[in-house]
Structure 1
Amino acid sequence: MTLLQTERLTLRPLVPADADSYAAMRYHPEVARWLPPASGDPTDPARATIERFAAAWRDRHHAPWGVFRDGRLIGHAGLNYVPEFERTEVLWALHPDAWGKGYATEVARAALAYGFETLELDLIFAITLPDNLASQAVMKRIGLTYRRRVEYKGFKDVVWFDIDRASWLAR
């Protein structure tokens, strides 16, 4: 598992002890509105997600990291293999207290660099709901280009942006 340090943030794989903090971020109403839903006690799906991320680190050498600022978990971000598309996405979700500070752009750039320069992936995509203009702005800032609309996890209309390795390395 890989630990990254950006200018302001620490990116490290989540561990079971992070479950409560992760649930508070991931299932915060302002964050959850953009992500696939979960029901019941949010700590249970948070633990399952942390386990899924740990398995991806073992199997693929990449998964989302926990995003930490001054030792406090403020979100998750990184690379996530999506079997439905047979591709890897760059993703981020931050607690609303961390919005508007450039953290999403910072962690997304770090994830792209890791994906293209270390893992040598050929293409990385990002998806979001059409009305999530803040995430689309991050996608554009990090060099991704709008390509199409797709269906994903019950969301019938999702926008797809991507960038290939050659474009990333040429920037």
Structure 2
Amino acid sequence: MIIAETPRLRIRHLTVADAQFILHLLNEPSFIHNIADRGVRNEQDALDYLLNGPMKSYHTYGYGLYLVEHVDNAEPMGICGLIYRSNLQETDIGFALLPQYWGQGYATEAAKAVLQYGYHKLNLTRIVGLTNASNLTSINLLSKLGLQFEKTVLLSGQQQVMLFS
């Protein structure tokens, strides 16, 4: 299911057919460093991640992480979407692109489309951004989206992150 399309990007639900791409993305050193090590080491782990993460979230909350692909050739570039953080009672916008797509405005384009979808199609009233204090690229992107630092919060696993709203 396509949730948004921009001049350069298509943003759609992840499916089990995306397992190989997810395996690749979640093992990028930048993903592990800036987001987390999800322990996805093979295609079965990637399938489990998809089924118990994004796909379960679609069913439970009506939204989740989505695949970002190039509109011209359907090349997968990364993920961007909405994640319900039950411990914070907040919906968070998350994004991660493969390094070869950094610095070209793709993450901003995808995040703006996902925010618009969240506010206008899902009727969410608040979407926050969470990031590590050391992740300046994400902080800059959240600022471009109009989000401002609100407070520091504790995610599950005792990880302190900055919350932008």
**Using a 3 Å threshold, how does the CA distance of structure 1 residues 45 and 85 change in structure 2: closer, same or farther?**
farther
Consecutive unaligned residues of structure 2, counting only runs of 5 or more, are none
TM-score between the two structures when normalised by the length of structure 2: 0.91
- The answer to whether the Cα contact below 8 Å between 1:26 and 1:93 also exists between their aligned partners in 2 is no
Aligned residues: 162
CA distance in 1, matches of 2:142, 2:132: 12
**Using a 3 Å threshold, how does the CA distance of structure 1 residues 42 and 100 change in structure 2: closer, same or farther?**
farther
- The answer to whether the Cα contact below 8 Å between 1:38 and 1:45 also exists between their aligned partners in 2 is no
TM-score between the two structures when normalised by the length of structure 1: 0.88
Q: Percent identity?
A: 28
- The aligned amino acid for 1:56 is S
1:38: Cα distance to partner? 2.9
Considering only aligned residues, what root-mean-square deviation do their CA atoms show, in Å?
Answer: 1.6
CA distance in 2, matches of 1:123, 1:90: 10
> Is 1:82 aligned to residue 81 of structure 2?
no
**Using a 3 Å threshold, how does the CA distance of structure 1 residues 99 and 155 change in structure 2: closer, same or farther?**
farther
**Runs of 4+ in structure 1 over 2 Å off:** 42-46, 153-157
Consecutive unaligned residues of structure 1, counting only runs of 5 or more, are 163-171
Deviations 1:69-126 (A, max 9, x none): 1311111001111111111111101111111111111111111111111111111001
Deviations 1:14-33 (A, max 9, x none): 11111011110121112221
Matches within 5 A, 1:40-59: 41-51=41-51, 52-59=53-60
- The aligned amino acid for 2:150 is R
- The aligned amino acid for 2:62 is H
- The aligned amino acid for 1:88 is T
